[in-house]
């Protein structure tokens, strides 16, 4: 791939517009109405040769050809090769990625900026949509890459790592486009001066990017959590440097390769997007984050490093998603069975390794009223344990829901869970039918007495992974108070509540409005508290300690660029 | 004024809508088209009894009754009275303001938040418009308060401190309203599931404020620089605490009083807006800025304190306008006379005490081509000095343009200016025809040789006040390089250029796009580089060291609130 193609670019703005304008317009409508919409099908069978895309088998074989080889990107400043990903399913990927001399790569990216800025919001959006379309066509190939880095089960990796991640990328492009075009490109200004001639000025308004944008990827959702920042920055004119988690490089390296291909074909410098893979333990994010060229950072990961970025990367706009403690208030329900099934699924999906998985179930110790009669705390927790057991009774089905434990830290926390309180449901190891090396575990449920001071310490710390706490509290009112305190002090990506009482509903809503948390009420069907849909649901609020940004809103894009005005006497 | 009126509120949402909805809609249109518009007349004679507003005489007498008395606001936690403003025109105002125990005031403001949040974006915008309308009706009264705190001449105080400040407030309300309503209040989400029933959710979206917003006012433009942040925060649901500059309290105390009156009449807690006046040397801003209740800060003032706020008030979103160094590149012109007149006015207006006043005039030492023939550096600088002399030849007219020197620091800098380089135009003292105690000075122009290393140090430091530097540079290309460096390192609120060369125009534009500065080209008529018009011009870019925010854009409002979503199974 040449840095600047010498032949006429094969992708013209007109072609891109013909292909993608309707999608962009529909996305702009979706973020206004927030009704259901997605251009990227989530059914595995929606992909295949007949659709011009890679089907399941082709995706698998495309993935296989990547293994054990060098992942060439033809980036400037490559000073070596790094790699060492081992799938949570036990397979060594053996892929090597270019290691960058950032002193050479960052200036090359900076040099790519003017042409990308001058392309304007419309062309940038269309190029982003072409990148997303090509990624979408290879959804099954990406699915394997996500599966074997995050440990997600295949179907989840295919959906959350594929179309849902692409949706979140497109959503960010739509917000970026809307934000940049709310000011017109030019205006004529004529101010009346009574009997004298009016004052007349011609004005031009140009959105200008901040500089290089750094996206720091995470292990569990490399594409889903990475695409919003990547595409928001790219669509607003900023070159994007992608720094993947060392254990989840491949999905983002593939993303960078597609982006560079499309940029070059459209006549732009491929260095507008680049990869910064790192040596094990190199800790390159800390160095990159303080580089003067880096003016935007998107980060998903630990609170400690997120806080460090916010405090130290002062030259940059920093968007973070950090740790949080998610709560479900269980007060009452008119669909006990539905509630148990919904909760069991939420606790089990991807072994609870989602930033949105509920951790604390707050239950009045006097029990709850349900359509199946009053249930004591003990009955409810036993029934919930039973629902999880039933959901995961079959190993094959369990593995397809749980995926694999992403790293030893999660496994160790799970193994230590029984010491934190009373074991309501013990975790068990599941044999993976296909990958014997996979660490697959069912979730543990631990009972805590909310009246004991040590319980609060336990339940108000994030215990990332398949551990949840059933906390017995004196009353629903106390549950709401604990919810408030948890969100205020620890942050939360999600809050859930089950109640048939309008008064309790009002109390929980008020708490979420005050503490700025996203609330799901009485979910008993096929929508789960830990899932949000692009174009409609906000992921996080940006207003509590779990994250300073929400996916996706105006605030997520508005400060990624500035408007420069040139005015001339007319 | 009672904290909660017991009778039915006299201002209903319907009345407010009847009165203000057309204005809000027109403002929303104006920020989209960026054509000229203002609902607040700037002609002094547009105010008077026949318009239901205070005319010049009534305004003066309303102002006079405020002098020498206590300015009662009926705020909770008042623990004493403070004051001591002395007009730059030599008059002691003798007004005392309530001093707040912030430990009592901030909780009272926090308590006002839920009702203001629940009012929703539309009612909040309408209440803000009523506040602005009442301020507008008292424009002449405010004009005297602005004049006798900032030192602005009366006409400027009346216009910039009156309708133009009100415009900037309304602009912020319009952006805030647009931003909060781009997400609908509710949505129905229906996701197809093939042959099964679709997944159905009802969703509600509520904009929620961050918390208490702190507006730290400045000495020179208490209303113009204060209103954008005040109204942006108020319109997005945040209670606003106004901390005026100790020498410019009155215009903002009057603003707070009007806001509290309107809030109470509309049935809201008047503590939604409050004043924090301080004792001389108390430095209360530093304490307020770190209070946990304070989640937004708007600040105009020194770079040192602005940087401190950005680094330390980490619990808050911090919007700053700090110092900068504004440059004019003088390359060539086809209207020499117009250029001289325009520059002379820009340098003289309010004694150069505007954050937008040009400081460095970069002139090729070989001279410039003009419609009046080639002019050497010496000829141009002499002609500019002559234009200033002519503009300010008559003391009465000079005083009406210059206003008064706002503080001793500015006077001292002016007095030291002759030591910085060659005196091209010496400052002279002007007798104020009405206020013998006023310090009125004409601007000084100092010549610098750009080739001398010490010149760069001089011209790259902000010399706030009526001092500008005519810097001889080797070429226009060198001027553009110095412009770039100045904006990058010191920041700039404005950049101007005069040129007849499309190539030079392109070079300067490119520099402004790269360094993110607002550019005025070839202004030779009645629009000046130091003036920006609300609804059309951006004030600052937010992208260089002079300010991290621009007035007004999406970024100025988008992060002042968050959206909380409540979703329910349908």
Q: Which residue from A minimizes the CA distance to B569? A: A523
- What is B54-191+208-322+550-569's CATH superfamily? Aldehyde Dehydrogenase; Chain A, domain 1 (3.40.605.10)
DSSP state letters, A226-274: THHHHHHHHHTT--EEEE--TTS-HHHHHHHHHHHHHHHHTTS-GGGEE
Chain B residues with CB-CB distance to A314 below 8 A: 310-311
Q: Is there a contact between B518 and A190 if contact means CB atoms under 8 Å apart?
A: no
Q: Which residue from A minimizes the CA distance to B28? A: A182
What A26-31 contacts at long range (C-beta under 8 Å, 24+ apart), as own/partner pairs, is A27/A170, A27/A171, A27/A173, A27/A174, A27/A535, A28/A174, A28/A177, A28/A178, A30/A171, A30/A174, A30/A535, A30/A536, A31/A171, A31/A174, A31/A175, A31/A178, A31/A535, A31/A552, A31/B182
Give the C-alpha separation, B213 to B100, whole Å.
16
Instruction: Give the residue extent of every domain in chain A.
Output: 13-33+43-187+202-322+550-569, 327-521
Q: Of A35, A201, A518, which is closest to B527 when you measure between CB atoms?
A: A201
Give the residue from B554, B556, B557, B558 with the most A CB atoms within 10 Å of its CB, the best one to mutate: B554
Give the C-alpha separation, B95 to B71, whole Å.
7
Chain B residues with CB-CB distance to A318 below 8 A: none
Give the residue from A518, A528, A569, A570 with the most B CB atoms within 10 Å of its CB, the best one to mutate: A569
Q: Is B8 exposed, middle or buried (0-12, 13-18, 19+ CB in 10 A)?
A: exposed
Chain B residues with CB-CB distance to A114 below 8 A: 510, 513-514
Chain A residues with CB-CB distance to B188 below 8 A: 35
Q: Is there a contact between A521 and B569 if contact means CB atoms under 8 Å apart?
A: yes
Q: Provide the pLDDT for residue A322.
A: 94
Chain A residues with CB-CB distance to B31 below 8 A: 182
Q: Is there a contact between A311 and B314 if contact means CB atoms under 8 Å apart?
A: yes
**Which residue carries 């068990």 as its tokens?**
A428
- Taking residues A10-19, report their average pLDDT: 95
Q: Do A404 and A88 meet the contact criterion of CB atoms below 8 Å apart?
A: yes
pLDDT digits 0-9 by tens, B522-556: 999 999 999 999 999 999 999 999 999 999 999 99
- Taking residues A357-372, report their average pLDDT: 98
Local structure of A84: helix, strand or coil: coil
- Sequence-separated (6 or more) residues with CB below 8 Å from residue B120: B185, B207
Give the C-alpha separation, B487 to B519, whole Å.
12
Chain A residues with CB-CB distance to B568 below 8 A: 520-522
Reported as half-sphere exposure (CB side, CA atoms, 13 A), residue A462 has a value of 27
Q: How confident is the model at residue A10 (pLDDT cuts 50, 70, 90)?
A: confident
Q: Is there a contact between A513 and B206 if contact means CB atoms under 8 Å apart?
A: yes
Q: Provide the pLDDT for residue B9.
A: 66
Q: How confident is the model at residue A151 (pLDDT cuts 50, 70, 90)?
A: very high
Q: Provide the pLDDT for residue B567.
A: 98
Q: Which residue from B minimizes the CA distance to A307? A: B314
Q: How confident is the model at residue A8 (pLDDT cuts 50, 70, 90)?
A: low
Q: Provide the pLDDT for residue A9.
A: 66
Chain B nearest-CA distance from A379, in A, is 25
Q: How confident is the model at residue B2 (pLDDT cuts 50, 70, 90)?
A: very low
Domains A13-33+43-187+202-322+550-569 and A327-521 share a fold: no
Local structure of B132: helix, strand or coil: helix
DSSP state letters, A99-121: EE-HHHHHHHHHHHHHHHHHHHH
Q: Is there a contact between A189 and B569 if contact means CB atoms under 8 Å apart?
A: no
Q: Of A117, A205, A554, which is closest to B182 when you measure between CB atoms?
A: A554
Q: Which residue from B minimizes the CA distance to A568? A: B521
Q: Of A32, A517, A519, which is closest to B182 when you measure between CB atoms?
A: A32
Chain B residues with CB-CB distance to A554 below 8 A: 179, 182, 554, 558
Give the residue from A205, A312, A565, A570 with the most B CB atoms within 10 Å of its CB, the best one to mutate: A565
pLDDT digits 0-9 by tens, B236-281: 999 999 999 999 999 999 999 999 999 999 999 999 999 999 987 8
pLDDT digits 0-9 by tens, A234-283: 999 999 999 999 999 999 999 999 999 999 999 999 999 999 999 878 99
CA distances from A228 to A234, A244, A537, A549 (A): 10, 14, 14, 11
Core vs surface per residue A109-129: b (16+ CB within 10 A) or e:
beebbbebbebbbbbbbbbbb
Chain A nearest-CA distance from B250, in A, is 31
Give the C-alpha separation, A538 to A550, whole Å.
6
Q: Do A235 and A263 meet the contact criterion of CB atoms below 8 Å apart?
A: no
- Taking residues B26-46, report their average pLDDT: 97
pLDDT at B220 over 60: yes
Q: Which residues is A551 bridged to in the sheet? A: A539
Q: Of A178, A525, A562, which is closest to B569 when you measure between CB atoms?
A: A525
Chain A residues with CB-CB distance to B550 below 8 A: 562-563
Chain A residues with CB-CB distance to B34 below 8 A: 183-184, 187, 189, 203, 205
Arithmetic mean of pLDDT over chain A: 96
Q: Is there a contact between B533 and A188 if contact means CB atoms under 8 Å apart?
A: no
Report residue A185: phi and psi, to 5°: -65, -30
Is domain A13-33+43-187+202-322+550-569 annotated with CATH 2.70.98.40?
no
Q: Of B208, B310, B524, which is closest to A516 when you measure between CB atoms?
A: B208
Number of A to B CB contacts under 8 A, please give it: 194
Token pair of A433 as six digits: 């039918």
Chain B residues with CB-CB distance to A495 below 8 A: none
Q: Which residue from B minimizes the CA distance to A38? A: B191
Q: Provide the pLDDT for residue B4.
A: 47
Q: Of A182, A516, A558, which is closest to B564 when you measure between CB atoms?
A: A516
Q: Of A31, A36, A541, which is closest to B190 when you measure between CB atoms?
A: A36
The pLDDT > 70 percentage for chain A reads 98
pLDDT digits 0-9 by tens, B156-206: 999 999 999 999 999 999 999 999 999 999 999 999 998 999 999 999 999
Q: Is there a contact between B36 and A190 if contact means CB atoms under 8 Å apart?
A: yes
Q: Provide the pLDDT for residue B406.
A: 95
Q: Is there a contact between A523 and B205 if contact means CB atoms under 8 Å apart?
A: no
Chain B nearest-CA distance from A209, in A, is 9
Give the residue from A563, A568, A570 with the most B CB atoms within 10 Å of its CB, the best one to mutate: A563
Q: Provide the pLDDT for residue A279.
A: 87
Q: Provide the pLDDT for residue A281.
A: 86
Chain A residues with CB-CB distance to B528 below 8 A: none
Q: Name which CATH class applies to B327-521.
A: alpha beta
pLDDT at A345 over 80: yes
Q: Is there a contact between B559 and A559 if contact means CB atoms under 8 Å apart?
A: yes
Q: Provide the pLDDT for residue A570.
A: 80
Arithmetic mean of pLDDT over chain B: 96
Chain A nearest-CA distance from B11, in A, is 27
Chain B nearest-CA distance from A535, in A, is 10
Give the residue from B307, B555, B570 with the most A CB atoms within 10 Å of its CB, the best one to mutate: B555
């Amino acid at each position: 791939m040449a840095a600047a193609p010498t032949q006429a670019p094969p992708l013209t703005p007109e072609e891109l517009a013909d292909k993608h304008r309707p999608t962009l317009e529909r996305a702009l409508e979706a973020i206004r109405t927030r009704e259901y919409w997605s251009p990227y099908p989530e059914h595995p069978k929606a992909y295949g040769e007949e659709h011009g895309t890679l089907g399941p088998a082709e995706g698998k074989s495309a993935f296989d050809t990547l293994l054990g080889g060098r992942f060439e990107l033809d980036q400037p400043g490559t000073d070596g090769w790094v790699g060492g990903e081992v799938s949570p399913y036990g397979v060594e990927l053996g892929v090597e990625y270019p290691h960058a001399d950032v002193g050479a790569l960052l200036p090359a990216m900076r040099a790519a900026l003017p042409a990308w800025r001058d392309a304007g919001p419309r062309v940038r959006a269309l190029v982003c949509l072409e990148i997303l379309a090509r990624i979408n066509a290879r959804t099954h190939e990406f699915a394997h890459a996500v599966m074997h880095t995050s440990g997600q089960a295949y179907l989840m990796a295919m959906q959350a790592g594929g179309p849902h991640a692409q949706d979140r990328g497109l959503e960010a492009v739509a917000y970026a486009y809307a934000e940049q075009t709310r000011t017109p490109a030019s205006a004529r200004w004529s101010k009346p001066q009574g009997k004298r001639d009016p004052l007349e000025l011609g004005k031009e308004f140009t959105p200008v990017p901040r500089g290089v944008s750094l996206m720091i990827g995470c292990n569990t959702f490399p594409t889903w959590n990475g695409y919003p920042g990547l595409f928001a920055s790219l669509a607003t004119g900023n070159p994007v440097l992608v720094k993947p988690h060392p254990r989840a490089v491949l999905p983002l390296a593939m993303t960078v390769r597609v982006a560079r291909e499309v940029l070059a074909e459209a006549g732009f410098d491929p260095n507008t997007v680049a990869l910064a893979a790192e040596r094990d333990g190199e800790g390159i994010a800390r160095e990159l984050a303080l580089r003067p060229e880096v003016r935007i950072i998107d980060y998903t990961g630990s609170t400690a490093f997120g806080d460090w970025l916010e405090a130290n990367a002062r030259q940059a706009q920093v968007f973070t998603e950090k740790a949080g403690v998610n709560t479900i208030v269980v007060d009452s329900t008119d669909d006990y069975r539905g509630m148990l099934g919904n909760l069991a699924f939420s606790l089990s999906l991807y072994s609870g390794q989602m930033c949105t998985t509920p951790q604390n179930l707050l239950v009045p110790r006097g029990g709850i009223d349900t359509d199946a009669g009053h249930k004591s705390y003990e009955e409810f927790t036993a029934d919930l344990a039973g629902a999880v057991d039933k959901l995961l009774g079959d190993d094959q089905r369990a593995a397809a829901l749980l995926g694999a434990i992403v790293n030893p830290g999660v496994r160790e926390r799970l193994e230590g869970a029984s010491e934190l309180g009373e074991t309501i449901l013990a975790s068990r190891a599941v044999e993976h039918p296909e990958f014997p090396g996979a660490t697959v575990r069912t979730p543990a449920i631990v009972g805590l007495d909310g009246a004991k001071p040590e319980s609060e310490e336990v339940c108000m710390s994030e215990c990332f992974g398949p551990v949840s706490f059933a906390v017995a509290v004196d009353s629903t009112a106390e549950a709401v108070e604990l919810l408030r305190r948890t969100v205020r002090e620890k942050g939360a990506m999600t809050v859930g509540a089950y109640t048939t009482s309008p008064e309790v509903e009002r109390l929980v809503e008020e708490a979420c409005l005050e503490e700025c948390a996203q609330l799901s009420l009485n979910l008993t069907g096929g929508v789960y508290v830990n899932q949000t849909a692009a174009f409609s649901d906000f992921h996080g609020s940006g207003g509590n300690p779990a994250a300073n940004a929400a996916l996706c809103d105006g605030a997520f894009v508005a400060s990624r660029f500035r408007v420069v005005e040139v005015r001339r006497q007319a």
